[in-house]
Structure 1
Amino acid sequence: MIEALIGAFLISTNYITTIKFMKWLGLDTIPIDKQNQIIKPPSILHPNLSDTTDDVISKIQEFFNNFTFDDIEKKINYVFKNKAYLIAAFTHPSYYNNPFTQCYERLEYLGDAILDFLVVRCVFVEYYKQVTPSRVTDIRQDLSNNGRLAYLLVSCDLHRKILHESPYLFDQMTSYLENSTLFPKDQSMNDKLDKDIDQWADSTAPKALADVFEALIGAIFLDSGYCLETVWKIIEPLLRQYIKRSIKHRNVNPVRSFFEKAGKIIEESYDGKGEFTCTVELSNGARFDGHGKNKKLAKYDACQKAMNNL
């Protein structure tokens, strides 16, 4: 009942009013300092820097210009007031040559929660007659899974702006981008975004790509003064067609579907040369082998083959 009341406030008012309502209920949702003032979010800069110092601001702008991060602003049609947020959103933990901001991890955590809420709000408000609460969960997971978000980032050609020094991530990204089915040569951004792909089809997508997409959402939210409408205006065009498709066709993770249908894992093995194999069995006795660079990918591949066979 309490959760339903909070949901009613959130849909009919705004999140600030809802947070105040939650505080009235006794939930500690607003960080208050000793002077009873709302605590501002901690700076995204390194602890020894201040974003109010002219010298620091000018150096951040120079860093921003050197890496042509304005290309990102043009792509998403949003100009950052505080350039540090955008720099941080595209800084991988392995990158040590960014002397100004922290990496994207904090922004990613925030962006993940915001994306979930905005997708659920959209489905609830616009499609409430067509979906049940359980379907809303499926749709949310469908639209915010790592494979989907990684694909969107690459489709917008924003992966090129990620600052990192990780050979492992480089190999992952190279392998993912070489998938000619997902990313045919000479295909425009609009064509990629309009592509009717299996949302769960590519589990080889590097998680870092999805992390950066979520971090970008968190960065926009903070830079826009906590404006959810601004965030939704930017990401809605990227998600809209997939929301419509997910409403019409239930699309669930094949691993989850496999176990819901009483499937079981028979054997997992490693050949010692970099490839894992997973053998699964459906309730009717049919067996399928999956292969991948780790156990998770091998299991995913096997479950996908099994579900495709049904």
Structure 2
Amino acid sequence: MEAQLEINYADDNKPLMTNDRPQMSVAGADPPDWPPLEEVEEILGYSFADKRWLEEALTHASFRRQQEEAAAAAAGTSGGGVSYERLEYMGDCVLNLIVSREQFFRYPDLMPGDLTRLRAANVDTEKLARAALNHGLHRYLRHRKPQLGDQIEAFVEEIAEYPVHSNGLVNAPKTLADIVESLIGAVFVDSHCSVDTVWKVFKRLLEPIVEKETLRVHPVTELYEMCQKRKLRLEFKGSWKQGIDVYVNDQLAGRGNYESKKEIAQNRAAKDALDNLGKIVLLLEDGEDDQIVD
């Protein structure tokens, strides 16, 4: 059983949203080290009827803005330009729909809260960023964002320790995830808004799909649940830029830091505390005050 999505079309059998789309061209604009966008069609296993959707999906705002502002300055008009942002918005909506649909029918007995957590695990930034990296999609992005290369290199180094998913312990570049979402949006509108086509194309790219049996809880949530179950008092202390300490019944249980993102610092501290929790519980039961974390 599959959900159906009804879309209205114009007389020429094209989605109504296509009619007023701005014309785009990057002829002569790309440096020689950018590979041709046609290679992306081979990666996706999908041939675009309108190649402009593909071009738009792989055009970062920094790239298009620079081109348009230069042209506008020469012509004495105002610049604007088209980037992947609208397609990213569409792709985000469609991705949530197709993953929700798949899980709704795959797990008929799963409650909404569990379905929501399962969907989140399959559409979060790290999951999509890994997909972009695994299939080399980032190599085709037209951009003028110098720091992106360094962000990707740092991401590659961080995920080496976590082959499938770090579960909130690394910082995934949002731009990588944006690429996947914008391409989803592009395939969606190019295929006359076919959710079945989108799922067929992107299911392979998103594998391994997180299933109910492989779903993991984020470290902070897991730590809270374990402490509540054992009736232990849990407290996070410190500035996340300098480091966060986790205390269980006033006993230092874990530490974590990440200068650029508080959530990651908390997750790392919670993960460290989870690794030490067994020892902490034993010490508390024995009434000892030995330090577990240096």
| Fold agreement, TM-score > 0.5 | yes
Distance of aligned partners of 1:284 and 1:226 in 2 relative to their CA distance in 1, 3 Å threshold: farther
Kept after mapping to 2: 8 A contact 1:288/1:306? yes
Q: For the residues of structure 2 that align with 1:157 and 1:116, how far apart are their CA atoms?
A: 23
Match of 2:213 in 1: 248
Match of 1:119 in 2: 99
Larger Rg over CA atoms: 2
Q: For the residues of structure 2 that align with 1:300 and 1:198, how far apart are their CA atoms?
A: 13
SS across alignment from 1:281: strand
CA deviation map 1:183-205 (0-9, x unaligned): 9xxxxxxxxxxx6x235255321
- The answer to whether the aligner puts 1:267 opposite 2:238 as a matched pair is yes
- The answer to whether the aligner puts 1:110 opposite 2:52 as a matched pair is no
Kept after mapping to 2: 8 A contact 1:280/1:303? yes
Match of 2:49 in 1: 81
Pick the aligned partner of 2:254 from 275, 285, 288.
288
TM-score by length of 2: 0.73
Number of equivalent positions: 250
SS across alignment from 2:208: helix
Match of 2:286 in 1: none
Match of 1:273 in 2: none
RMSD over equivalenced CA pairs, Å: 3.1
Q: How far 1:249 sits from its partner (Å)? A: 2.9
SS across alignment from 1:268: coil
Q: For the residues of structure 2 that align with 1:128 and 1:231, how far apart are their CA atoms?
A: 23
Match of 1:278 in 2: 244
Q: For the residues of structure 2 that align with 1:199 and 1:295, how far apart are their CA atoms?
A: 15
Kept after mapping to 1: 8 A contact 2:254/2:276? no
Q: For the residues of structure 2 that align with 1:240 and 1:171, how far apart are their CA atoms?
A: 26
Please, which moves more after superposition, 258-267 or 164-173? Answer: 258-267
2:177 aligned partner, one-letter code: A
Pick the aligned partner of 1:147 from 126, 140, 151.
126
Pick the aligned partner of 1:206 from 148, 163, 173.
173
Pick the aligned partner of 2:203 from 236, 240, 243.
236
| Percentage of pairs with the same residue | 28
CA deviation map 1:255-290 (0-9, x unaligned): 3444555643211154xxxxx422233467443111
Match of 2:291 in 1: none
Q: For the residues of structure 2 that align with 1:148 and 1:162, how far apart are their CA atoms?
A: 18
1:251 aligned partner, one-letter code: R
Kept after mapping to 2: 8 A contact 1:142/1:199? no
2:98 aligned partner, one-letter code: L
Any residues of structure 2 matched to 1:1-310 within 5 Å, and which?
14-16=4-6, 40=17, 43-45=20-22, 51=23, 59=25, 67-95=35-63, 96-99=65-68, 102-129=82-109, 131-179=110-158, 181=160, 197-198=164-165, 200=167, 202-243=169-210, 246-259=211-224, 263-268=234-239, 270=241, 276-282=242-248, 285-296=251-262, 297-310=264-277
Q: For the residues of structure 2 that align with 1:283 and 1:232, how far apart are their CA atoms?
A: 48
Q: Structure 1 regions of 5+ residues with no counterpart?
A: 1-10, 18-29, 31-37, 46-50, 184-194, 271-275
Q: For the residues of structure 2 that align with 1:173 and 1:149, how far apart are their CA atoms?
A: 13
Please, which moves more after superposition, 62-71 or 107-116? Answer: 62-71
